Amino acid sequence: MTTYPITHLKAATALAVFLTVIITTLPAKESGNTARVPISLSIEPVLVSASPAAQNEGPGTEIEAIPWMNVKIRPGDNLSMIFKRMGLKAADLQAIVDIGADASVLKKIIAGKTLGLQISSEKRLMALRYEQNPLESLLVTRVGNKFVVYLNISEAEVITAFQTARISTDAPSLYHAGKKAGLSDNIIMKLSYIFQWDISFAFDLRKGDAFAVIYEEIYVDGEKVKEGDILAAHFQNMGKTYSAVLFEDDNGVKNYYTPAGRSLRKAFIRDPVHFSHVSSNFNLRRFHPIHKRVMPHRGVDYAANRGTPVVAAGDGKVIIARQNNASGKYVVIQHGEQYTTKYLHLSSFAKAVRSGKNVTQGQIIGFVGSTGWATAPHLHFEFLVNGVHRNPKTVKLPKAKPILTANMNQFRTNTAPILMRLSSIVGSTTFANASYKISRSDG
């Protein structure tokens, strides 16, 4: 019989014991209906796009069992005030702040929205949720003494719709005609911005004028949550027709162009006040209503409600922003060497609008009022070329820049389908009131 050193026998005995333990602890053969539960080995919090309730890394069942409490955000509220009001610990607030950039949106919560809270019976915050917009919401959940943040993104469906409308006796303005056709304030405003360089919606609308607009509607779970871009539009005004189509270049910059590729954007917009009406035209022989004598009226008066925003007609530098007896609160903007615009009788100036500050076209510079020699709220607007007053309604504006030659083929390819739809709508409806969903695609 072969003999072995005592050290070998000890090693063999230890190995036998080890194998016995392993064999006895192995599970029996799985039955066909045994569930397999994947286990995450991740030890770092991650930002996800789906609800953590559907993820194995999400909050535990002890959190999910706590009912949500919805808190209406009050004007002037911040997270600290809400925590104090709800009796939550300052340490939990600090832990959420320490998350950093991923939770930074909670620093600017908006009044009127709802903050969801899960609070344990021991007054510990277990989870918090905040809807940033109809498509995105932030969820913060407790993991021990820390918090993890998740971004929930709802799947959106984009439907392309269109509307047509006509200016009539009972719908004499763009706003009234748009509302009668079922358009939202948002789409009406966007439409006015598209054509604001060519059409004065205070001066130029006439009975029989008409328009068509193709735009996006955004749906989540079958419910419309907002509108997207206007994709194309057509306006028939005083015997002339204007068409616009949206084009996004390689840099992601979106602008509106004519079907021929000319930009609709010009150096100046016609009306610095939207949805107003003209109460007094440019007239060098006007009889002044206060002084009761003939005095030149070197501008245009736009009647509008007090507080209506007034925007800069073009890019430029503010050279005057002050008040006097005649003009009340007024702003003067210099646009290069040739052009100057003036805005009189404001109720107040916009923030950061003062002498020496640069402004961009469409930027709010003040608000309609009746300061100075004014009988009612209105904006008096003047347009000067080389120091000479010109009629803002008829002055010729600098031409728009076209699509670059290098981008023209891409422009034609990208815009041809939507322009064909626009042509079909205009031709087939002759601008009778209509509303259709003409395509749908997943967002």
Asked whether residue 4 is assigned to any structural domain, the reply reads no
CA-based nearest residue to 271, from 346, 191, 200, 359:
200
Task: Identify the burial level of 246 via C-beta atoms within 10 angstroms of its C-beta, where 0-12 means exposed, 13-18 middle and 19 or more buried.
Answer: buried
Contact assessment for residue 212 and residue 429, using Cβ atoms and an 8 Å cutoff: yes
Tell me which residue range forms the domain holding 96. Answer: 52-153
State whether residue 108 is helix, strand or coil.
Answer: helix
pLDDT for residue 420 = 94
**Number of domains into which the chain is organized:** 3
Residue 59 has a pLDDT of 46
Residue 344 covered by a domain = yes
Residues 200 and 229 in one domain: yes
The whole-angstrom separation of Cα 378 and Cα 399 is 29
pTM strictly above 0.75: no
Residues 379, 287, single domain; the answer is yes
Same domain (yes/no): 144, 196: no
Q: Which two tokens stand for residue 74?
A: 């009050």
DSSP string, 43-97: -S----SS-GGGSTTS--HHHHTSPPEEEEPPTT--HHHHHHHHT--HHHHHHHH
The order of strands in the sheet holding 114-119 is 69-72, 114-119, 125-133, 136-143, 146-153
User: Given this model, what pLDDT does residue 284 score?
Assistant: 55
Residues of the chain with pLDDT under 50: 1-10, 17, 19-61, 282, 440-443
Of 281, 288, 296, 276, the residue nearest 377 (C-alpha): 276
Instruction: Look up residue 293 and give its DSSP letter.
Output: S
Please give the C-alpha separations between residue 260 and each of 243, 250, 398, in angstroms, as whole numbers: 10, 19, 18
Say yes or no: 100 and 174 in one domain: no
Q: Are residues 261 and 285 in the same domain?
A: no
Q: pLDDT by residue (tens digit) across 362-418?
A: 999 999 999 998 889 999 999 999 999 998 888 888 777 788 888 899 999 999 999
Q: Are residues 167 and 143 in the same domain?
A: no
296 and 369, same domain (yes or no): yes
Residues 321 and 288 in one domain: yes
In a domain? residue 337: yes
Residue 397: per-residue pLDDT: 80
- Identify whether residues 286 and 381 lie together within a single domain: yes
pLDDT at 443: 40
Both 283 and 382 in one domain: the answer is: yes
124 and 193 in a single domain? The answer is: no
Query: What kind and span of H or E run contains 254?
Result: strand 254-257
Residue 16, burial from CB neighbour count under 10 angstroms (0-12, 13-18, 19+): exposed
328-335 and 339-349 beta bridge pairing: antiparallel
Residues 226 and 331 in one domain: no
Which pLDDT belongs to residue 10? 47
Residue 227 belongs to domain with CATH number: 3.10.450.350
* C-alpha count within 13 angstroms, C-beta hemisphere, residue 146: 8
CATH of the domain at 380: 2.70.70.10
- The pLDDT, as a whole number, for residue 14 is 54
d(CA 308, CA 282): 22
What does the alpha-carbon distance between residue 378 and residue 276 come to, in Å, rounded to a whole number? 9
Last residue of a domain, one of 135, 153, 171: 153
Token representation of residue 261:
């590729």
Q: What six digits make up the tokens of 408?
A: 């023209």
How confident is the model at residue 346, as a pLDDT? Answer: 97
Residue 183 lies in a domain: yes
